Structure 1
Protein backbone atom coordinates (compact mmCIF):
# COMPACT_ATOMS: atom_id res chain seq x y z
CA UNK A 1 0.00 0.00 0.00
CA UNK A 2 1.20 3.49 -0.81
CA UNK A 3 1.21 6.57 1.35
CA UNK A 4 -1.40 9.30 0.96
CA UNK A 5 1.40 11.86 1.06
CA UNK A 6 3.64 12.15 -1.96
CA UNK A 7 7.34 11.90 -1.19
CA UNK A 8 7.72 15.54 -2.20
CA UNK A 9 4.69 16.84 -0.27
CA UNK A 10 4.55 17.98 3.32
CA UNK A 11 3.81 15.56 6.11
CA UNK A 12 0.53 16.10 7.93
CA UNK A 13 2.50 17.27 10.99
CA UNK A 14 4.38 19.94 9.04
CA UNK A 15 1.28 21.06 7.14
CA UNK A 16 -0.66 21.36 10.41
CA UNK A 17 2.13 23.45 11.95
CA UNK A 18 2.29 25.68 8.85
CA UNK A 19 -1.47 26.29 8.99
CA UNK A 20 -1.33 27.07 12.71
CA UNK A 21 1.34 29.70 12.14
CA UNK A 22 -0.53 31.10 9.12
CA UNK A 23 -3.55 31.59 11.40
CA UNK A 24 -1.39 33.26 14.07
CA UNK A 25 -0.23 35.82 11.52
CA UNK A 26 -3.78 36.22 10.07
CA UNK A 27 -5.05 38.17 13.08
CA UNK A 28 -8.27 39.35 11.44
CA UNK A 29 -9.20 35.80 10.45
CA UNK A 30 -10.02 36.62 6.82
CA UNK A 31 -7.86 33.70 5.60
CA UNK A 32 -5.32 36.05 4.01
CA UNK A 33 -2.16 37.58 5.39
CA UNK A 34 -1.52 41.19 4.44
CA UNK A 35 1.41 43.55 4.98
CA UNK A 36 -0.10 45.12 8.08
CA UNK A 37 -0.48 41.72 9.70
CA UNK A 38 3.11 40.73 8.99
CA UNK A 39 4.47 44.04 10.27
CA UNK A 40 2.37 43.62 13.41
CA UNK A 41 3.51 39.99 13.71
CA UNK A 42 7.23 40.86 13.67
CA UNK A 43 6.74 44.16 15.51
CA UNK A 44 10.30 44.79 16.77
CA UNK A 45 12.25 42.24 14.74
CA UNK A 46 12.96 44.06 11.46
CA UNK A 47 9.24 44.05 10.68
CA UNK A 48 9.48 45.74 7.27
CA UNK A 49 12.48 43.72 6.12
CA UNK A 50 10.85 40.45 7.16
CA UNK A 51 7.53 41.49 5.62
CA UNK A 52 9.17 42.35 2.32
CA UNK A 53 11.00 39.00 2.29
CA UNK A 54 7.92 36.92 3.08
CA UNK A 55 5.88 38.57 0.33
CA UNK A 56 8.71 38.22 -2.20
CA UNK A 57 8.90 34.52 -1.44
CA UNK A 58 5.28 33.54 -0.93
CA UNK A 59 2.86 35.92 -2.73
CA UNK A 60 2.59 34.00 -6.00
CA UNK A 61 -0.11 36.15 -7.64
CA UNK A 62 1.48 39.39 -6.42
CA UNK A 63 -1.79 40.77 -5.00
CA UNK A 64 -0.18 41.85 -1.72
CA UNK A 65 -1.99 39.08 0.14
CA UNK A 66 -0.94 35.57 1.04
CA UNK A 67 -3.73 33.05 1.23
CA UNK A 68 -3.48 29.63 2.83
CA UNK A 69 -3.02 27.92 -0.54
CA UNK A 70 -0.01 30.14 -1.38
CA UNK A 71 1.38 29.56 2.10
CA UNK A 72 1.21 25.76 1.87
CA UNK A 73 2.45 25.89 -1.73
CA UNK A 74 5.52 27.81 -0.57
CA UNK A 75 6.40 25.28 2.13
CA UNK A 76 5.84 22.45 -0.35
CA UNK A 77 8.29 24.15 -2.77
CA UNK A 78 10.79 24.40 0.08
CA UNK A 79 10.56 20.66 0.64
CA UNK A 80 10.72 19.88 -3.09
CA UNK A 81 13.88 21.96 -3.34
CA UNK A 82 15.60 19.47 -1.04
CA UNK A 83 15.08 20.83 2.46
CA UNK A 84 14.34 18.29 5.15
CA UNK A 85 11.00 18.12 6.91
CA UNK A 86 12.78 18.69 10.25
CA UNK A 87 14.42 21.86 8.94
CA UNK A 88 11.07 23.18 7.70
CA UNK A 89 9.48 22.49 11.08
CA UNK A 90 12.38 24.26 12.80
CA UNK A 91 11.92 27.34 10.59
CA UNK A 92 8.17 27.32 11.21
CA UNK A 93 8.79 27.22 14.96
CA UNK A 94 11.31 30.03 14.50
CA UNK A 95 8.55 32.05 12.84
CA UNK A 96 6.18 31.27 15.70
CA UNK A 97 8.79 32.81 18.01
CA UNK A 98 8.99 35.91 15.77
CA UNK A 99 12.33 34.94 14.32
CA UNK A 100 13.52 36.46 11.06
CA UNK A 101 12.31 35.17 7.70
CA UNK A 102 14.96 33.09 5.96
CA UNK A 103 15.66 32.66 2.28
CA UNK A 104 15.66 28.99 1.39
CA UNK A 105 18.33 27.79 -1.01
CA UNK A 106 16.75 26.63 -4.26
CA UNK A 107 13.40 28.35 -3.67
CA UNK A 108 13.02 31.39 -5.86
CA UNK A 109 11.29 34.58 -4.76
CA UNK A 110 7.94 35.32 -6.39
CA UNK A 111 7.96 39.13 -6.54
CA UNK A 112 10.02 42.17 -5.67
CA UNK A 113 7.77 44.85 -4.23
CA UNK A 114 8.95 47.65 -1.98
CA UNK A 115 7.24 48.03 1.38
CA UNK A 116 7.15 51.60 2.64
Structure 2
Protein backbone atom coordinates (compact mmCIF):
# COMPACT_ATOMS: atom_id res chain seq x y z
CA UNK A 1 0.00 0.00 0.00
CA UNK A 2 1.70 3.22 -1.18
CA UNK A 3 1.26 6.59 0.44
CA UNK A 4 2.08 10.21 -0.27
CA UNK A 5 2.11 10.96 3.45
CA UNK A 6 5.48 12.20 4.70
CA UNK A 7 7.44 9.50 6.53
CA UNK A 8 7.31 11.42 9.80
CA UNK A 9 3.57 12.26 9.86
CA UNK A 10 0.57 10.06 10.51
CA UNK A 11 -1.45 8.87 7.55
CA UNK A 12 -5.07 10.07 7.46
CA UNK A 13 -6.25 6.53 8.27
CA UNK A 14 -4.08 6.23 11.39
CA UNK A 15 -4.85 9.80 12.50
CA UNK A 16 -8.58 8.97 12.30
CA UNK A 17 -8.03 5.88 14.46
CA UNK A 18 -6.02 7.95 16.95
CA UNK A 19 -8.86 10.48 17.20
CA UNK A 20 -11.51 7.76 17.41
CA UNK A 21 -9.77 6.20 20.43
CA UNK A 22 -9.43 9.65 22.00
CA UNK A 23 -13.19 10.18 21.63
CA UNK A 24 -13.87 6.73 23.09
CA UNK A 25 -11.87 7.56 26.23
CA UNK A 26 -13.30 11.13 26.42
CA UNK A 27 -16.71 9.94 27.61
CA UNK A 28 -18.02 13.39 28.57
CA UNK A 29 -17.13 14.81 25.14
CA UNK A 30 -15.33 17.89 26.50
CA UNK A 31 -12.34 17.25 24.20
CA UNK A 32 -10.07 16.42 27.16
CA UNK A 33 -9.23 13.09 28.72
CA UNK A 34 -8.94 13.29 32.49
CA UNK A 35 -7.78 10.80 35.10
CA UNK A 36 -11.32 9.70 36.00
CA UNK A 37 -12.10 8.89 32.38
CA UNK A 38 -8.99 6.74 32.03
CA UNK A 39 -9.67 4.95 35.31
CA UNK A 40 -13.16 4.12 34.02
CA UNK A 41 -11.78 3.20 30.59
CA UNK A 42 -9.42 0.56 32.00
CA UNK A 43 -11.70 -0.36 34.92
CA UNK A 44 -10.32 -3.77 35.97
CA UNK A 45 -7.14 -3.84 33.86
CA UNK A 46 -4.63 -2.17 36.21
CA UNK A 47 -6.43 1.13 35.78
CA UNK A 48 -4.13 3.21 38.01
CA UNK A 49 -0.94 1.82 36.51
CA UNK A 50 -2.17 2.30 32.93
CA UNK A 51 -3.46 5.79 33.72
CA UNK A 52 -0.17 6.85 35.30
CA UNK A 53 1.85 5.51 32.36
CA UNK A 54 -0.41 7.18 29.81
CA UNK A 55 -0.32 10.57 31.51
CA UNK A 56 3.47 10.38 31.93
CA UNK A 57 3.82 9.77 28.20
CA UNK A 58 1.16 12.07 26.80
CA UNK A 59 0.30 14.99 29.16
CA UNK A 60 2.82 17.54 27.89
CA UNK A 61 1.70 20.49 30.01
CA UNK A 62 1.31 18.38 33.18
CA UNK A 63 -2.21 19.64 33.89
CA UNK A 64 -3.72 16.17 34.48
CA UNK A 65 -5.70 16.47 31.24
CA UNK A 66 -4.89 15.26 27.77
CA UNK A 67 -6.37 17.29 24.95
CA UNK A 68 -6.70 16.09 21.39
CA UNK A 69 -3.63 18.05 20.29
CA UNK A 70 -1.44 16.37 22.93
CA UNK A 71 -2.91 12.97 22.02
CA UNK A 72 -2.20 13.34 18.29
CA UNK A 73 1.26 14.81 19.04
CA UNK A 74 2.10 11.74 21.15
CA UNK A 75 1.22 9.30 18.37
CA UNK A 76 3.15 11.46 15.90
CA UNK A 77 6.20 11.24 18.22
CA UNK A 78 5.75 7.47 18.27
CA UNK A 79 5.93 7.39 14.49
CA UNK A 80 8.86 9.83 14.35
CA UNK A 81 10.77 7.63 16.78
CA UNK A 82 10.77 4.86 14.19
CA UNK A 83 7.67 2.82 14.97
CA UNK A 84 5.67 1.77 11.94
CA UNK A 85 2.03 2.57 11.36
CA UNK A 86 1.39 -1.17 11.66
CA UNK A 87 2.84 -1.01 15.20
CA UNK A 88 0.70 2.03 15.98
CA UNK A 89 -2.42 0.41 14.54
CA UNK A 90 -1.79 -2.70 16.63
CA UNK A 91 -1.46 -0.63 19.82
CA UNK A 92 -4.57 1.39 19.00
CA UNK A 93 -6.49 -1.87 18.63
CA UNK A 94 -5.00 -3.03 21.92
CA UNK A 95 -6.28 0.17 23.56
CA UNK A 96 -9.70 -0.27 22.00
CA UNK A 97 -9.77 -3.74 23.62
CA UNK A 98 -8.78 -2.15 26.98
CA UNK A 99 -5.30 -3.61 26.84
CA UNK A 100 -2.45 -2.18 28.88
CA UNK A 101 -0.67 1.05 27.97
CA UNK A 102 2.59 0.37 26.15
CA UNK A 103 5.79 2.33 26.72
CA UNK A 104 7.19 2.75 23.22
CA UNK A 105 10.95 2.39 22.91
CA UNK A 106 12.52 5.69 21.93
CA UNK A 107 9.49 7.81 22.91
CA UNK A 108 10.35 9.95 25.90
CA UNK A 109 7.84 10.35 28.73
CA UNK A 110 6.77 13.92 29.30
CA UNK A 111 6.82 13.97 33.11
CA UNK A 112 6.49 11.94 36.27
CA UNK A 113 3.01 12.31 37.70
CA UNK A 114 1.42 10.54 40.61
CA UNK A 115 -2.06 9.11 40.07
CA UNK A 116 -3.81 8.16 43.30
Give a deviation string over 1:57-103, Cα, whole Å, max 9, x none.
00001110000000000000000000010010000000000000000
TM-score for the superposition, normalised by structure 1: 0.96
Map of 1:102 onto structure 2: 102
TM-score for the superposition, normalised by structure 2: 0.96
Give a deviation string over 1:23-82, Cα, whole Å, max 9, x none.
000000000000000000000000000000000000001110000000000000000000
Map of 2:80 onto structure 1: 80
Unpaired segments ≥5 residues, structure 1 = none
Tell me how many residue pairs correspond in the alignment. Answer: 114
Q: Which runs of 4+ in 1 moved over 6 A?
A: none
Give a deviation string over 1:97-116, Cα, whole Å, max 9, x none.
00000000000000111111
Aligned-residue offset at 1:7:
1.6
> What's the Cα RMSD here?
1.1
Map of 1:31 onto structure 2: 31
Aligned-residue offset at 1:6:
2.0
Map of 2:67 onto structure 1: 67
